[in-house]
Structure 1
Amino acid sequence: MNQPIGVFDSGYGGLTVLREIVRKLPQYDYVYLGDNARTPYGTRSFDTVYQYTLECVQHLFDQGCRLVVLACNTASAKALRNIQQLDLPIVAPDRRVLGVIRPTTEVIGTYSKTGHVGVLATRGTVTSESYVVEIEKFFPELQVFQEACPMWVPLVENGEYASAGADYFVKQHIDRLRAQSPRIDTLLLACTHYPLLYDKIRQAAPAEVTIVSQGTIVAESLANYLQRHPEIEAQCSKHGRRTFLTTDSTDDFDRQATVFYGEAVQSQHLAL
């Protein structure tokens, strides 16, 4: 029976997470679902993000997925808790849904020497306060400063991430964040699109500041989760297959996905 691991994102950004997961755990089958027709999620209400995410998770369950990773910070911030606590016990008690926020917050404190950490994210993630709340649980001594970067996702999705125009918006938000505390020595890229802006962020930030992307952290966390839950791991099929679904144009998805995933993909359309 085909029981792949599902990976969900509102668009393309989750492909940067899937890339690292596949690199770490290549033996498993994966189904990636990008809700490109309704992206971006970052500007939408909690209720809307919850409904959209739940709908997409159900589609991944229909694909045979026993385990789904929300490779989207906004969905993890606005929908994950409700899905885990309210929906799964009723509609799918044998399925599991994980996010990207907890794995990151469990380790972020190990990167900082000053105890001042900056979070760069969408407005939706910043407003949710999810990172502030979760980091407090694991590293109560840390001071967390947030900066919403509403232009960064559009820059990436419009192919402008390497352009000179991106420099202005990247520097603007790095400067605003560091103005909150010059002692910030760690920057967390709390959006899966942001790794494509890494070179710009590295250039705009002081050399001594550590920049943390989520892909490798989430991949390591997933590996540990499967090790700790052999009953879930045993249900995951292992043929090395990759399936890509999009709710929008497959041509557009395939063209953009190559940039995020790092190799050519051939997607299928999913009608919601």
Structure 2
Amino acid sequence: STGNVAVLGTVGTVMSESYPIEFRKLFPELKVVQEACPMWVSLVENDELDSEGAHYFVKKDLQRLFERAPLTDTVILGCTHYPLLLPVIERYLPPKIRLVSQGPIVAASLVDYLRRHPEMEQRISRGAEVKFYTSEYPGRFNQAATTFLGSDVNARHIKHDC
């Protein structure tokens, strides 16, 4: 490992500097660069995971990153939407680059926490029914939620006074 890490994130995540701040605390020797990928969330939310646009923007953003930081050997997907673009990302990622998604890390951390806190087992409900409510058009919400969850979602529309 060269110690060169890149974080792909939304504009907000990149501007917050949250990843570099945390890396400096835990691994001060790492060199961390960030690349904002502003179109990726829209691609995912509009179910354009393998569209011409997805290929265009992923390729463009990764090229820009590796032009700025050619020594990068690890890329972190710093947004929960980005793993849904994984096949496209992997297609345009240079060879031998380690790709890290936060989902498995968060899941492993939760499993570890629950092992260390067995009292939580008594507080966890079982057999609950999952219901989805949205203030937006349910069709669009259902499509996005189904993409994320991998199973059919049928949300109910609720009105709100704002």
TM-score band, normalised by shorter chain: 0.7 to 0.9
| Alpha-carbon distance in structure 2 between the residues aligned to 1:251 and 1:163 | 20
Task: Tell me how far 1:199 sits from its aligned partner.
Answer: 1.1
Tell me if the contact between 1:227 and 1:233 (Cα under 8 Å) persists in the aligned partners. no
Which residue pairs with 1:132 in the alignment? 20
- State the alpha-carbon separation in 1 of the partners of residues 89 and 53 from structure 2: 13
Which residue number corresponds to residue 206 of structure 1? 94
Q: Does 1:180 align with 2:78?
A: no
- Structure 2 unmatched runs, 5+: none
Could you tell me which residue of structure 2 aligns to residue 161 of structure 1?
Answer: 49
Distance in 2 of aligned mates of 1:146 and 1:121? 7
Deviation at 1:161, TM superposition (A): 2.1
Deviation string for 1:39-68 (max 9, x for gaps)? xxxxxxxxxxxxxxxxxxxxxxxxxxxxxx
- Whether 1:234 and 2:122 are equivalent positions in the alignment is yes
State the 1:122 CA deviation. Answer: 0.3
SS of the aligned residue for 1:242 comes to coil
1:117 aligned residue: 5
Equivalent residues in 2 for 1:38-187 (5 A)? 113-187=1-75
Name the aligned partner's letter for residue 57 of structure 2.
F
> What is the CA deviation profile of residues 184-236 of structure 1, one whole-angstrom value per residue up to 9, with x for unaligned ones?
11111111111121111111111211111121111111111222233444322
Q: What letter matches 2:28 in structure 1?
A: P
Contact 1:120/1:187 (<8 A) preserved: yes
Identity %: 51
Q: For the aligned residues, what is the CA RMSD?
A: 1.9
| SS of corresponding position for 2:55 | helix
Partner residue, 1:97 = none
Measure the CA separation in 2 of the matches of 1:269 and 1:228: 40
**Structure 2 contact 62–93 (Cα < 8 Å) conserved:** yes
Given that residues 189 and 195 in structure 1 are in contact (C-alpha distance below 8 angstroms), is that contact kept between their aligned partners in structure 2? Answer: yes
Question: Is there any run of 5+ residues in structure 1 with no aligned partner, and where?
Answer: 1-112
Q: Name the structure, 1 or 2, with higher relative contact order (CA <8 Å, separation 6+).
A: 1
Question: 2: CA distance between counterparts of 1:160 and 1:188?
Answer: 21
Higher-Rg member (1/2): 2
What's the offset of the Cα at 1:253?
1.6
* CA 1:239–1:142: 2 relative to 1, 3 Å: same
SS in 1 for 2:132: strand
> TM-score, structure 1 length as denominator?
0.54
| 1:84 paired residue number | none
- Indicate whether 1:262 and 2:150 are aligned: yes
CA shift at 1:170, angstroms?
0.7
2:112 equivalent in structure 1: 224
The match for 1:249 is: 137
More displaced stretch, 120-129 vs 209-218: 209-218
Between Structure 1 and Structure 2, how many residues are aligned? 160
